[in-house]
A and B are shown apart, each in its own frame.
Chain A
């Protein structure tokens, strides 16, 4: 195993309790510092793949390493420590709606916070400073007392990015981070994720379905179809033929995808 692989996935397979197979024999390496886009139709296994990496879902077959350490089979404190290294951003933002923006960002520090005080929502002053700094980075420094559900979708996703930043991770796992946002706001969120990758040197693995965004932000891309890895390459190699390979013969690229 090479030192420079941020994530290493070997023969990963996932069959849900109902018998539905979501992933089959996926082997993949995510290099340190890259921005890897994961493509595929809805239901192709993108979300499952991302959740198998930090074990929000337990894969039924195969192994996964994060930063050289195996996370499959890890338990308790060791698993939690490894999760701290990999922050996650979700399609539905998944903020705690009734908490303030600040508390939401502070929750990114839970992995390193003392249990008792965190349960009464109390965090040390230096964590507060970090949280405010993270909010300022995503342009929401003035909104920290608002309740999370008072914010617009784009703002909520930026709070989620600040929460990820708070975690001080080395990896970002992003599951369709802009799919539920207005198209006009997508770049504003994607640019923040890009900044984490470029300025902080965080490795990003991000599922996206908009080809435009993929070619604009990703340094490398992989594609899933029916739970299998069907394509791997750089955005320049992506063409009409690859498109059909991933999305099927009947698929048509949307008019604004540049073909």
Chain B
């Protein structure tokens, strides 16, 4: 065996071991979660009482679970299952990473341990989920009376806030517009380094890709509401803070949409332009930009639409716009006035939706 073959064999063995590791890791997580759910349900139905003498709440039980033991137990079970996969059949992780062997393929799910495990796992998830989120059908069906007041108020909008509402509606639309407009140039520039297909060739490009992607994922992960709070303490309560909050979030969202669009372009024109001896900026300008402009416009209009909706929530915490006067009315229970404002917002959102759909239809 030559040195070349030797390397091939070693690589294959390494890959097999990596697959085993992945399979065991997946199983360990699944089995660990299973153990936790079992412990949770046992505690929930055991009738144990807390220090106050009441039955334990779901939150208290979650606090009591033995997480480290579950992790260890899950890992041990996963190792056993993967070690004795010939006797027990492939585990879920093994089946996912390596596929099932021929002898297992024709079996029904009821004939494999994997099938039963999956079924039980799904059952456990729903039982635990029901208790953890405190679902209560009885209350849902019998206690509508309190909410009826609100609904009645919403159905009888009061004209008292109509004037103020309309003024702030204009502010809301402009707030969303400014945030979107300022987001366009930044997202446009960031979209190119965030596109996988343009950043494969050089090390600098790959670093730029990683940086841009990481930054944008972080920004997008932080809710606009949190950005609003940050900017309110920075520039003070008012629409400017709202513009900044929506701007930051829009930059991240548009960068992602733009870069995905760049990733799906036809590479033919890029090749053709590169073949003329053009520089990489010229290749972008001629081979990429013309292809992505129409979808970019369409995404941007859609984003404006989303920003109008979001600015209501931003207004709740002091970011300007119609949400700003909605919050006190909700707190005071002025449901008629809330109804007016909600109708104004709904009407605007509906109108924006129709208009933006029409424009997008035309562009693409």
Which chain A residues have a beta carbon within 8 Å of chain B's beta carbons? 51, 54, 56, 80-84, 86-88, 90, 92-99, 107-112, 115, 118-119, 121, 160, 163, 167, 173
Contacts and interface: CB of A to CB of B under 8 A. Distances in A.
A112 B282 CA distance: 12
Contact of A87 (B275, B282, B286, B294): B275
Contact of A108 (B276, B281, B290, B291): B276
B269 A94 contact: yes
Interface in B258-292: 268-269, 271-279, 281-282, 285-287, 290-291
Contacts of A88: 271-272, 275
Contacts, number: 80
B237 interface: no
B272 A94 contact: yes
Contacts of B285: 118-119, 121
Given A56-B271, A88-B272, A110 B277 contact: yes
6 contacts: A83-B276, A96-B287, A110-B278, A110-B286, A111-B277, A121-B285
A81 B275 CA distance: 10
Interface of B: 268-269, 271-279, 281-282, 285-287, 290-291, 293-294
A80 B275 CA distance: 8
A169 B326 CA distance: 68
B268 A90 contact: yes
Contacts of B287: 96
Nearest to A111: B277
Contacts of A112: 277
A95 B273 CA distance: 9
B276 A119 contact: no
Give the dominant DSSP class at B's interface: helix
A196 to B, nearest CB: 15
Contact of B275 (A56, A115, A119, A121): A56
Given A98-B291, A99-B290, A119-B285, A80 B271 contact: no
A112 B268 CA distance: 21
A80 B272 contact: no
A109 B277 CA distance: 9
B26 to A, nearest CB: 25
B268 A167 contact: no
A160 B277 contact: no
B279 A115 contact: yes
A107 to B, nearest CB: 5
B268 A92 contact: yes
Q: Which has the most chain A C-beta neighbours within 10 Å: B272, B285, B294?
A: B272
A87 B271 CA distance: 11
Contacts of B293: 98
A81 B277 contact: yes
Given A110-B282, A110-B286, A115-B282, A95 B277 contact: no
A96 B279 contact: no
B274 A95 contact: no
Contacts of B277: 80-84, 110-112, 167
A36 B115 CA distance: 61
Given A88-B275, A96-B273, 6 more contacts: A80-B277, A94-B272, A96-B269, A98-B294, A99-B286, A115-B281
Contact of B276 (A51, A84, A98, A121): A84
Contacts of A93: 268
Contacts of B291: 96-98
